[in-house]
Amino acid sequence: MNFDLPLIWAIVILFGIMMYIMMDGFDLGIGILYPFFKDKTDRDIMMNTIAPVWDGNETWLVLGGAGLLAAFPLAYSVVLSAFYMPIILMLLALILRGVAFEFRFKAHENERHFWDKAFIFGSIAATWFQGLILGAYINGINVIDGKYAGGPLDWITPFSLFTAVGLVVTYALLGSTWLIMKTSGELQNNSYRLTRILAFILLAIIVVVSIWTPLLSNQIAERWFTLPNIIWLSPIPLMVACLFYQLQKSLAAKANTSPFIYSLGMVFLGYLGLGISIWPNIIPPNISIYTASSPHASQSFALIGALIIIPLILAYTAWGYYVFRGKVSKDDHYH
Partner 1 sequence: MSDLALDLARIQFGFTISFHIVFPAISIGLASYLFVLEARWLMTKQAVFLDLYHFWVKIFALCFGMGVVSGLVMAYQFGTNWAGFSTFAGSVTGPLLAYEVLTAFFLEAGFLGVMLFGWSRVGPGIHFAATLMVALGTLISATWILASNSWMHTPQGIEIINGQVIPVDWLAIIFNPSFPYRFIHMVLAAYLATALLVVSAAAWQILQGNTNVGIRKMLSMGMWMVLIVSPIQAMVGDFHGLNTLKYQPAKIAAIEGHWENIPGKASPLVLFGWPDMAAEKNHFEVAIPTLGSLILRHSLTEQIPALKDFAAEDRPNSTIVFWTFRVMVGLGLLMILLSLFSLWARWKKDLYQNKLFLRFALIMGPAGIVAMLAGWYTTEIGRQPWIVYGLMRTADAVTKHSVTELSISLTLFIVIYLLVFGVGVIYLLRLLRIGPKPNESLQGDAFSINKNEVEDFIIAAEFHPPHSTPSEKKED
Interface residue list for partner 1 (CB under 8 A)? 51-53, 55-56, 58-59, 61-63, 65-71, 73-74, 76-81, 83-85, 87-89, 91-92, 94-96, 98-99, 101-103, 105-107, 109, 146-148, 152, 294-295, 297-298, 301-302, 305-306, 309-310, 313, 316-317, 319-320, 323-324, 331, 333-335
Closer residue to partner 1 in complex, CB, 232/321? 321
Burial 141-180 (b: 16+ CB within 10 A, else e): bebeeeebebeeebbebebbbbbbbbbbbbbbbbbbbbbb
Taking the complex as a whole, the smallest distance from the CB of residue 285 to partner 1 amounts, in Å, to 20
* Min CB(36)–partner 1 separation in Å: 25
- Residue 29 C-beta: closest distance to partner 1, Å: 18
- Cβ nearer to partner 1, comparing 30 with 61: 61
Coil/strand/helix, residue 148: strand
Q: Which of 3, 61, 18 is nearest to 264 (CA)?
A: 18
User: How would you class 73 by CB atoms within 10 Å of its CB: exposed for 0-12, middle for 13-18, buried for 19 or more?
Assistant: middle
Taking the CA atoms of residue 211, residue 212, residue 217 and residue 218 in that order, the dihedral angle to the nearest 10 degrees is: 20
Where helices occur in 140-234 by DSSP H, the ranges are: 158-182, 185-216, 218-225, 229-233
In this complex, which beta carbon is closest to partner 1, that of residue 45 or of residue 205? 45
Question: Based on CB atoms, which residue is closest to partner 1, 235 or 320?
Answer: 320
Closer of 147 and 193 to partner 1 (Cβ): 147
Rounded least distance, CB 54 to partner 1, Å? 9
Nearest distance, CB of residue 110 and partner 1, angstroms? 12
